[in-house]
Structure 1
Amino acid sequence: MGMFDKMKDKAGELANEHDDQVEQQSDAALDRGKRMADERLGDQHAEQVDKGRDILDDRIGSGGGDEGQTPP
């Protein structure tokens, strides 16, 4: 097992131990990205931006459970 594999495993362990904090941080990052997209795109694409934010939250948030699958 290489160094990067060990680091990846350790990061996964830490993420599992601090699931609530990881979820809060990912939500905050997604919210910042949504605000930036809304500022640049305006109301014209607000529905698509909201949908994309929700899809990403489902994929990277805790309880996503669909790892390895591509979104529809």
Structure 2
Amino acid sequence: MEHAGVELGFHPDDDERNPRGGSPVFCWQVADIDKARAWLLDAGCAHHRGPLTVSPGVRIAQVRGPFGVIVGVDGP
């Protein structure tokens, strides 16, 4: 059964990648993180972080969009 809703996550401060007062990170859950990340990079985004395994069966990746906004994808 699929669920609709919003998931909220919090990051610890990271002076290099997530400084206090920096860009919020908007994340989308995707079926194939590698394919979604490649599509975003081909569309003009720049690598920011990952892909990283953050818990068993869950990976994340983040890219920086052309206007500086960090966009994340998460999934298997």
Common topology (TM > 0.5): no
Range of TM-score over shorter length = under 0.3
Rg bigger for which structure?
1
Normalised to the residue count of structure 1, the TM-score between the two structures is 0.27
In terms of fraction of residues, the more helix-rich structure is 1
In terms of fraction of residues, the more strand-rich structure is 2
